[in-house]
Structure 1
Amino acid sequence: MEIIELLLDQMGILLLIFARIVGMLMTAPIFNQNNIPAYVKLGFSLILAFILLPILAVPTNLQLENFFQLMLLGTKELALGIMIGFICYLFFSIVYIAGHLIDMEIGFSIASVLNPMDENEEIALSANLIFVMAILVFLSVNGHHKLIQVLKQSFDIIPIGGLTINGLMIEKLISIFISIFVIAFKFAAPIIVAIFLTNVLLGILARTMPQMNVFVVGMPIKILLGMMVLFIVFPLYIGFFEYIFDTMFEHLWQLLHAIVKG
């Protein structure tokens, strides 16, 4: 009975914790997959909320006097959870950007396959292969565990109802977008450089041997060379994925602190 009475007394706090967790699971990589049923995500969010309820420090000035205050704070918590998950998803989108760059250079952009994360969206061939590899590395380094840990610690950094929009937060979001494009270009740089040198060589051959059909000869050469370079650098991509995940959590921490400092 004491547990039931405690839950009834803390129902508003439980709903706010639940809102932030649901927001993160809606957008965070691994957890936001369409093949995971919605009731599983909601049940997992509710279990996490029950676990976090007795161990989180609730602000003393938190006012939950009526339904409208609960809705306002719930919206803020949901938005903060979505922001946390979306930042993580942005770093996974590095694979998409790099994959499209690679496919455009190799010539695979003509074909596409279905994205395993979103069945209604098409994704490049190289991006699909690299994305599966990124998921496996993320799970192998227990990134999903660390993501839940970051969610728990976000309550320590930003207490319930503590989300505020400020200039420092906007500036940090802009820097995250810049970092994503820079890392994606670095990711695809070996393929881009190799195909660029191949195009230069084909251009020289086209000038010296005008009778040769460069388009017919160049397409299979670029595909073969691109695949060779891609499989050569695959072992290096494992370490690069770990760098991406470390950068993701570092930027996430900086964003959470920027919200507080602003």
Structure 2
Amino acid sequence: MNLIAEITSLHRDAFLVLLLTFPRIFAVFATSQLFNATLMSRMARNVVVMVIAIPLYPYNLQYVDGFSPTGSMFIVYFFKEYAIGFLIGYTISCLLWAVQSAGTLIDNQRGAAVASSIDPMLGNESSPIGDLFSRAFILYLFLTPGFFFILTLVYNSYMIFPVTEFVPVLPEEFPELILSIFDNAMRLMFIMAAPLVILMFLSEFALAIISRFDPQIQVFILAMPIKSGVAVILLTFYLSFLLPEAAEHQIELKLFTDEMFGIFEKGQEIYQDQKLEVGP
């Protein structure tokens, strides 16, 4: 016990840096579902998080030097770091959700929503095309610089908002930011699904006109295979445009995170102003 206490006292700053660095990175990838537990064991995911966190050690060490929080304050800072990682992961997961939901909307239009199953990557219910979009987009991110863009986003968050900074007050703009991120994901979903949904609607409209002139044709039986055929044929061409288009929206992740940290800084200013008004 004495040896452990001596090692802990000698390397106090090192342990403190690691304990304050891991929560944000772990929360980012746990929330965004890029390293889902169903596809990667927890031990392997923790090793990946550790490898990603190690380059931040020398940078965060300069902030921890002289930083001596009490036990309760350390818990507060620990959960603060996890909350920041959760918010960054939320912005990333909204992009992934938009891509998956675009496929779900297409399946709903062609009448195949009943074939929904659990997506092992994002961990929620998804239709066949939604599952295809989700897997293809995550693979596309790892095959292109998209994943490195996400890593840069995470690393820059430590430079903009270090581990020793605290947010005692959240301004009124914070809920608006959370809703705007979700609103952006909804708009992106409809934009990506619109071409195929419109064409399937036109094919269904054409079948309705045919049934008007020849009521003996079983339109309800023909509708689903025809719309499915239209969707499959168009997907062979559309998927090559869809994935790069969705990846380009990664720049919005940086805009949202920069706005979020700007709101945090405003919260610090409000807290300082309140302290000045109260006085010593």
- Determine if the TM-score, normalized by the shorter chain, exceeds 0.5: yes
Shift, 1:202, TM fit? 1.7
Which stretch of structure 1 is more off in the superposition, 163-172 or 39-48?
39-48
2:206 is aligned to 201
Corresponding residue number in structure 1 for 2:146? 143
| AA aligned opposite 1:137 | Y
Q: Map 1:29-44; keep pairs closer than 5 Å.
A: 29-44=33-48
What percent of counterpart residues are identical?
A: 25
**Structure 1 position 177 matched with structure 2 position 182:** yes
Q: Match of 1:116, SS?
A: coil
* Alpha-carbon offset, residue 219 of structure 1: 2.2
Letter in 2 for 1:7: H
C-alpha contact (below 8 Å) 2:170/2:263 kept by paired residues? no
Give the one of 243, 248, 252 matched to 2:257: 252
Q: Quick one: which of 64, 68, 90 aligns to 2:94?
A: 90
Alpha carbons of 1:46 and 1:231: their partners in 2 closer, same or farther (altered >3 Å)? closer
Return the alpha-carbon distance in structure 2 between the equivalents of residues 38 and 5 of structure 1. Answer: 30
The 3-state SS of whatever aligns with 1:58 is helix
Instruction: Give the one of 106, 125, 130 matched to 1:127.
Output: 130
Letter in 2 for 1:174: L
- The within-5 A match list for 1:49-128 is 49-56=53-60, 57-58=62-63, 64=69, 66-117=70-121, 121-128=124-131
Question: Alpha-carbon deviation of 1:31?
Answer: 2.6
Shift of 1:247: 2.6
Q: How many pairs align? A: 258
- Identify if the C-alpha distance between structure 1 residues 219 and 35 changes in structure 2 by more than 3 Å, giving closer, same or farther: closer
- Residues of 2 paired with 1:59 and 1:21: CA distance? 17
Offset, 1:173: 1.3
Q: Taking structure 1 as reference, are residues 253 and 32 closer, same or farther at Cα in structure 2, changes over 3 Å only?
A: farther
How far residue 83 of structure 1 moved from its aligned partner, in angstroms, is 1.4
TM-score by length of 2: 0.82
Structure 1 equivalent of residue 161 of structure 2: 158
Deviation of residue 62 (structure 1)?
A: 5.2
Matched, 1:188 2:203: no
* Structure 2: gaps spanning 5 or more residues: 1-6, 268-280
